[in-house]
Amino acid sequence: MKQQQMNKNNMQKLRRTLGLFSLVILAASAQAQSMKVETVKMNFESDSKPGTEDYLMKLDEDVELIEAAAQHPKTANDPKMWYYKGLTYLTIYLNGSDAQKAKYPDALETATTCFFKSIDTDVKDKYTADAKRSLLNCAIGHYNNGVAYYRDKEYKKAIKSYQTVLDIIPLDANGDLKRNNIVSETLMQYMSYAAEADENYTLAKSLLQKLIDKNFADPAIYVEMVRIYLLEKDTANALKYVAIGREMFESNTTLIDVELDLYLKQGRSEELLKKLDDAIVKDPENKIYYFARGVTNMKLNKPNKAEVDYKKVIELDPSFADAYYNLGVVYVDQTKLLIEESNNTTDYKKQKEYDVKIDDWYKKAAAQFEEALALGEYSNAEKLELATTLKKIYGRLMQNDKTFESKYNSTKALIATLE
């Protein structure tokens, strides 16, 4: 009996010893995983230069160590581990070798996920600030990827990339992304283009409506909304949004054109003209109504009436650049029939008469384009297009009038600065 009691006591001691031993093993294993994360941290703090053999070897080592730590239950939910895993894959995306980038094609997506998980698990806020800063680098990468995907017609991937950037933007407390021209409204607009191209019209309309609700100051969002409704054969909503857009951007020529096209397709062009006539009667000093009617008359091939409207706009507002530009277009259009008639005659005398008439119209057009170029707040691309048109006109005119040679040369010099 005594012997049995001794055996029992010995078994209990053995179990306690084995239990303690197991705890020691588990503690040692957990410590080993923490040391792996710490080694990755030390590698990032070393003075290895990007692109060197030592740098790339350490990066391979970091992947092996951090993936082992990510699989272990003691470090799988550690914010430090998630942060350094994110940093490892972000480094591969930014500075890895071609072989490493090929081996981990989703490195940027992995890094983004890891930084978010680091923030979510970091109850003591030890790594959150660094994770947020790293996510800004991820955002720039996703933005660039979105642009590339859209260009390559991989629209679903473009949408996903832009959405990831949108998810990161709220973490940008200092506005660093905004300083890089990455803002929510632009991303939503780009997403809508990708969604429309992917024929996901529900998503595209939802994004455009959000921009409209935010009073986003770009008439293109109304043009896109109208286009989508026309693709869906919903003319009523197309007319509704072109009306909203025209109210917001009264003088935008694209929206005026879209509105006119809608009325033309419905055989209602005269109705649109009457609407503009009535508006002018009620408010005869409103330059926008004359401008819109001028555009409409141009589209309806009524150049004389368009000329009267544009001149009235200029009378009301001598700084209205687009009125000068459109008036110049009216004059250029007058040369087309004359040029055709000149080309079809073999009578030298008549050709000369045609040339004089053509040059007169070009002189009138050039005078208007000059005003538009001087007054208009155009982009460099728009200025380049206008200056190129002027250069062609001057090139023709100076053949018979050398006074236009200096204008030709100055415009040529301007083009060189815009190209």
Among the listed residues 292, 188, 183, the one whose alpha carbon sits nearest the alpha carbon of residue 247: 292
Do residues 209 and 193 touch, judged by C-beta distance below 8 A?
Answer: no
Phi and psi, residue 94, nearest 5° = -85, -45
Q: What is the pLDDT of residue 319?
A: 96
Whole-model pTM: value is: 0.70
If one counts every other C-beta atom within 10 angstroms of the C-beta of residue 141, the result is 21
If one counts every other C-beta atom within 10 angstroms of the C-beta of residue 254, the result is 13
HEC per residue, 56-96: HHHHHHHHHHHHHHHHCCCCCCCHHHHHHHHHHHHHHHHHC
Distance CA 413, CA 250 (A): 35
| Pair of tokens at residue 290 | 């004359």
| Pair of tokens at residue 321 | 């650049």
Q: What is the pLDDT of residue 47?
A: 73
SS3 content of the chain, % helix, strand, coil (to 5): 80, 0, 20
Q: How far is CA 243 from CA 219, 247, 249, in A?
A: 12, 6, 10
Could you give the angle at which helices 2-45 and 79-95 cross, rounded to 10 degrees? 40
Query: Could you report the average pLDDT of every consecutive run of 10 residues in the chain (419 residues)?
Result: 47 45 41 75 83 89 91 87 95 95 96 97 95 96 97 97 97 92 96 97 97 94 95 92 90 84 84 87 91 90 95 96 96 91 86 90 96 92 94 93 93 92
Q: What is the pLDDT of residue 32?
A: 58
Q: What is the pLDDT of residue 347?
A: 83
Do residues 228 and 205 touch, judged by C-beta distance below 8 A?
Answer: yes
Q: What is the pLDDT of residue 167?
A: 97
Q: What is the pLDDT of residue 21?
A: 41
Q: What is the pLDDT of residue 80?
A: 94
| Pair of tokens at residue 357 | 């008439």
Burial 232-251 (b: 16+ CB within 10 A, else e): eeeeeebbebbeebbebbeb
CA angle 329, 331, 333 (to 5 degrees): 70
Q: Cα Rg for the chain, rounded, in angstroms? A: 35
Do residues 115 and 135 touch, judged by C-beta distance below 8 A?
Answer: yes
Residues in CB range of 89: below 8 A, 6 or more apart: 104, 107, 108, 110, 111, 114
Altogether, the residues listed in the chain come to a count of 419
